[in-house]
Amino acid sequence: MKYNRIYNFNAGPAALPLSVLEEVKESFLNFAGSGMSITEISHRSKTFDEVINDAVLRTKRLLKLDDRYHVLFLQGGASLQFAMVPMNCLPDGKSADYVETGTWSTKAIKEAQILGKNINIVASSKDKNFSYIPYDVKFNNESTYVHITSNNTIKGTQWARFPDTKGIPIVADMSSDIMSRVFDPKPFGIIYAGAQKNIGPAGVCMVIIREDMLKLIPDNLPTMLKYTTFSNSNSLYNTPPSFSIYIIQLVLKWLEETIGGIDKIEAINKEKAGLLYQTIDSGDFYKATAKQDSRSLMNVTFRLPSEELEAKFIQEATKNGLGGLKGHRSVGGCRASIYNATNMEGIRALTDFMKNFEQKNG
Ligand SMILES: *Cc1c(COP(=O)(O)O)cnc(C)c1O
């Protein structure tokens, strides 16, 4: 392959579109005629303003967000959002509902509890090792928000349809499936996503927050932990992770102009995951770990007949230019992360290798 690149199935940081990386490389020493690298220019310059404003505009267009939504770029990863959400948007005396569907939602719950917030775990799939999405949830009418993880990166499950919360704002950790499929944003009060899975490099977290959620924020929070600090300054209160924001802008431009929007990438993502699951389901050698109605289109988790064969599979795949197929260290097995930047060619290379490996070892 070009530049000796491999087919990259890493979970995060993950593959980026090659054309984006080439554009970064081309413009790296002299950005937009400035005579400086993007990493050398002021975040207060007109040049950088154009970058961040374009990233915000494209996000709003791609996700069809109305004027009530602010698009912010924060640091601290999705992990800081586990704490910032309840600090900002769960006033004392109020409660929130949380759905527990895996490692990341468990961490979100833990941070809310550390803060002494009043939360209800209204549904959990822990009883079956987080292998499914608990679609049937009863929410508490008086809850301030409902927190879900839209795609469970480690367990390989995904909400195929979002729950009806009867008007209670949904707060969603969409780190591993933002911009991968069409959805109605209206029920969502907050959407947050670490960029390094599906929209850019590490170092920045996208937060989309609706006006009514901003009204819940108490005065006595540290400035850097308050959403309004960033919504009032276009994410420029302090020095932002400008290089990461620039790459997000390019990824969103690629998504809009080269791919043609979210509906187009969703069709591609369905085709990709479809072929991979079909290969897994075609015999008894590979076994998908997630329940059928909860299977992720982004992180495809599967097992082989033994741990020895899994180790051999991962090793031989790597030799064949297929990287990142080892499952998360907490669960073992295999995982192919197939975010937006992974194309059909990569999926075919993987499924061909899988069929071949099964023939030789099955
Ligand atoms: C990776 C991931 C996180 C953690 O993101 P950081 O940016 O490393 O803090 C949180 N939630 C989900 C769903 C993830 O996939």
pLDDT tens-digit map of 172-191? 999 999 999 999 999 999 99
Residue nearest to atom 8 of ligand 1 (CA): 77
User: Which amino acid is located at 230 in the chain?
Assistant: F
* Annotated catalytic residue, options 97, 159, 173, 326: 173
**What pLDDT, on the 0 to 100 scale, is given for residue 205?**
98
Mutation choice for ligand 1 from 176, 177, 178, 337, CB with most ligand atoms inside 8 A: 176
Is residue 194 in contact with ligand 1, taking CB distance under 6 Å?
Answer: yes
CA 20 to chain centre: 18
Is residue 153 in contact with ligand 1, taking CB distance under 6 Å?
Answer: yes
Nearest to 89 by CA among 237, 230, 225: 225
**What's the token pair of residue 284?**
């008894």
Core vs surface per residue 275-289: b (16+ CB within 10 A) or e: bbbebbeeeebbebb
- Quote the mean pLDDT of the chain: 97
Q: Which atom of ligand 1 is nearest to the CA of 202?
A: 7
Is residue 337 in contact with ligand 1, taking CB distance under 6 Å?
Answer: no
Res 272 pLDDT > 90: yes
Alpha-carbon separation of residue 139 from 50, 98, 136, 169, 309 (angstroms): 42, 9, 10, 11, 43
| pLDDT one-digit tens code per residue, 62-79 | 999 999 999 999 999 999
Which structural domains are found in the chain, ordered by start?
35-259 (3.40.640.10), 261-361 (3.90.1150.10)
8 Å CB contact between 58 and 249 = yes
Residue nearest to atom 10 of ligand 1 (CA): 78
- According to DSSP, residue 193 is labeled E
| Pairing status of strand 157-158 against strand 118-124 | unpaired
**What pLDDT, on the 0 to 100 scale, is given for residue 278?**
98
**What pLDDT, on the 0 to 100 scale, is given for residue 1?**
75
Residue nearest to atom 13 of ligand 1 (CA): 175
| pLDDT one-digit tens code per residue, 198-245 | 999 999 999 999 999 999 999 999 999 999 999 999 999 999 999 999
**36-39 LR contacts (CB < 8 Å, sep 24+):** 38/242, 38/243, 38/246, 39/242, 39/243
The count of residues in the chain is 362
* Annotated catalytic residue, options 117, 155, 159, 197: 197
Is residue 173 in contact with ligand 1, taking CB distance under 6 Å?
Answer: yes
Q: How many angstroms separate the alpha carbon of residue 310 from the centre of ligand 1?
A: 25
Residues at the annotated binding site for L-glutamate? 44
| Arithmetic mean of pLDDT, 81-91 | 98
Residue nearest to atom 5 of ligand 1 (CA): 78
Core vs surface per residue 90-100: b (16+ CB within 10 A) or e: beeeeebbbbb
Is residue 104 in contact with ligand 1, taking CB distance under 6 Å?
Answer: yes
**What pLDDT, on the 0 to 100 scale, is given for residue 362?**
87
Q: How many angstroms separate the alpha carbon of residue 78 from the centre of ligand 1?
A: 5
Contacts of 238 by beta carbon, 8 Å cutoff, 6+ apart: 224
Nearest to 70 by CA among 215, 224, 266, 242: 215
Write the DSSP string, 94-154.
Answer: -EEEEEE-SHHHHHHHHHHHHTT-EEEEEEE-GGGTT-S--------TT-S-EEEESEETT
Is residue 79 in contact with ligand 1, taking CB distance under 6 Å?
Answer: yes
| 197 belongs to the catalytic site | yes
8 Å CB contact between 250 and 20 = yes
Cβ-based burial of 142 (10 A; exposed 0-12, middle 13-18, buried ≥19): exposed
Res 274 pLDDT > 90: yes
CA 16 to chain centre: 13
Residues at the annotated binding site? 44, 78-79, 104, 153, 173, 196, 238-239
**What pLDDT, on the 0 to 100 scale, is given for residue 2?**
85
SS3 256: helix
Q: What percent of the chain has pLDDT over 70?
A: 100
SS3 264: helix
**What pLDDT, on the 0 to 100 scale, is given for residue 117?**
97
Cα(244)–Cα(74) distance, integer angstroms: 11
156 pLDDT tier (thresholds 50, 70, 90): very high
| 215 belongs to the catalytic site | no
| 104 belongs to the catalytic site | yes
User: Which amino acid is located at 204 in the chain?
Assistant: V
8 Å CB contact between 358 and 285 = yes
Q: How many angstroms separate the alpha carbon of residue 359 from the centre of ligand 1?
A: 36
Q: Which atom of ligand 1 is nearest to the CA of 174?
A: 13
Q: Which atom of ligand 1 is nearest to the CA of 151?
A: 13
